[in-house]
Amino acid sequence: MIGSIYAVGAAGTGKSTFSASLKEWMISQGFDAAVANLDPGAEYLPYDADFDIREFISLSEVMSEYSLGPNGAQIVAADLLLENYQTMLKPLEEFDDYYVIFDTPGQIELFAFRQAAPQLVDSFSGSRASIAFISDAVLASTPSGFVSQKLLYGSVISRFFKPSMNIMNKSDLITDAEMSAIKEWEEDSDKLLEAYMEEKQKIDKGYFSAIIRAFSEINATGKVIPVSSKDLLGLEEVYSNLSLSFSGGEDTDTSMKDD
Ligand SMILES: Nc1nc2c(ncn2[C@@H]2O[C@H](COP(=O)(O)OP(=O)(O)OP(=O)(O)O)[C@@H](O)[C@H]2O)c(=O)[nH]1
Ligand SMILES: [Mg+2]
């Protein structure tokens, strides 16, 4: 694999749509790209999967075999994948010269916060792995939503310790003014604290200003990349971040089909 991109994020933030769009964009640019679905519970996918974990794990079979309801079955299914990935992911070996985008399970805790997930990423993709944390622009457009998504991003990157991107998906759903406010909060932690204090009247200022100060320190890697997976916008910046993490900045990709 030239590189593995793991799309990780809370339910409904657009991981599957992002995976589909990034593949489409990469192919349009002449790169070889494939999408692997790692969500055994997915009922509908907005792409034709090049690899689909549902061929190995059936949620309904897990439910009847283990006498579980849908939530318990999701956990067992996630663990089945994490315990058996070496055999199950073998078909992906044929994508040696591809970028492979991994669409992870709907609920973030089923992948990012299970014990074995960092091990899967590490041993399967090693230094060719990048985490694409997918957040929702609508949520990020209020100061408290912005703060909570940054915290979630922080907890995901501290699980994987891989190059990562903080992707603000669905940016087509927010106004230019909301986008400018988000950019301002990123640049200026005082402005973020001010906006936060305005939104939440009775809070412990000391505690939140400490959290917000910590953001400025991780900003080097934590700046959001606005993306619209619906309109295929922002994907060029995603790609340049990827090539930066995979090749130290130079676009040394040899898989270009055109020119
Ligand atoms: N407007 C807009 N809608 C989007 C965008 N990306 C995804 N959506 C919509 O958001 C909804 C959820 O998208 P999915 O791609 O299924 O999200 P997901 O994170 O894979 O969802 P789960 O796997 O169920 O957690 C769908 O209705 C998508 O069409 C986007 O960039 N803009
Ligand atoms: Mg999905």
Tens digit of pLDDT for each residue in 31-78? 999 999 999 999 999 999 999 999 999 999 999 999 999 899 999 998
- 235 pLDDT higher than 90: yes
Report CA(13)–ligand 2 centroid distance (Å): 8
Report CA(197)–ligand 1 centroid distance (Å): 31
Report CA(216)–ligand 2 centroid distance (Å): 31
pLDDT at 245: 84
pTM of the model: 0.92
Report CA(11)–ligand 2 centroid distance (Å): 7
- 251 pLDDT higher than 70: no
Tens digit of pLDDT for each residue in 102-145? 999 989 999 999 888 999 999 899 999 999 999 999 999 999 99
Pairing between β-strand 164-169 and β-strand 224-226 as defined by DSSP bridges: parallel
* Span between the terminal Cα atoms of the chain, in Å: 22
- 89 pLDDT higher than 50: yes
Ligand nearest to the CA of 233: 1
pLDDT at 199: 86
pLDDT band of residue 221 (cuts 50, 70, 90) is: low
Binding site membership of 178 for ligand 1 (Cβ less than 6 Å):
no
Helical pair 189-199 and 176-187, crossing angle rounded to 10 deg: 120
Classify burial at 178, counting beta carbons within 10 Å of its beta carbon; exposed 0-12, middle 13-18, buried 19 or more: middle
Binding site membership of 109 for ligand 1 (Cβ less than 6 Å):
no
Give the C-alpha distances (Å, rounded to integers) separating 110 from 9, 32, 73, 74, 202. 10, 29, 11, 8, 34
Tell me, letter by letter, the H, E, C secondary structure of 15-66.
HHHHHHHHHHHHHHCCCCEEEEECCCCCCCCCCCCCEEHHHCCCHHHHHHHH
Helices (H), the chain: 15-28, 59-66, 70-88, 117-125, 137-140, 143-160, 176-187, 189-199, 205-222, 235-247
Contact in structure between 40 and 59 (CB atoms under 8 Å): yes
Whose alpha carbon is nearest atom 22 of ligand 1? 106
* 134 C-beta neighbours (distance < 10 Å), count: 29
Tens digit of pLDDT for each residue in 143-201? 999 999 999 998 999 899 899 999 999 999 999 999 999 999 988 888 998 898 888 77
Q: List the 99-103 sheet strands across, edge first.
A: 51-52, 33-37, 99-103, 3-9, 129-136, 164-169, 224-226
Binding site membership of 169 for ligand 1 (Cβ less than 6 Å):
yes
* 36 C-beta neighbours (distance < 10 Å), count: 21
Binding site membership of 41 for ligand 1 (Cβ less than 6 Å):
no
pLDDT at 219: 60
Beta pairing partners, 130: 5
Domains of the chain in sequence order: 3-174+220-247 (3.40.50.300)
Q: 149 vs 250, which has greater pLDDT?
A: 149
- 100 pLDDT higher than 90: yes
Q: What is the mean pLDDT of residues 13-22?
A: 98
CA torsion 40-42-48-53 (nearest 10°) is 0
- 209 pLDDT higher than 90: no
Report CA(190)–ligand 2 centroid distance (Å): 35
Binding site membership of 3 for ligand 1 (Cβ less than 6 Å):
no
pLDDT band of residue 5 (cuts 50, 70, 90) is: very high
Binding site membership of 130 for ligand 1 (Cβ less than 6 Å):
no
Q: Lowest mean pLDDT of 93-102, 114-123, 219-228, name the range.
A: 219-228
16, 52, 107, 235, best to mutate for ligand 1 pocket (most atoms within 8 Å of CB): 16
Report CA(14)–ligand 1 centroid distance (Å): 3
- 24 pLDDT higher than 90: yes
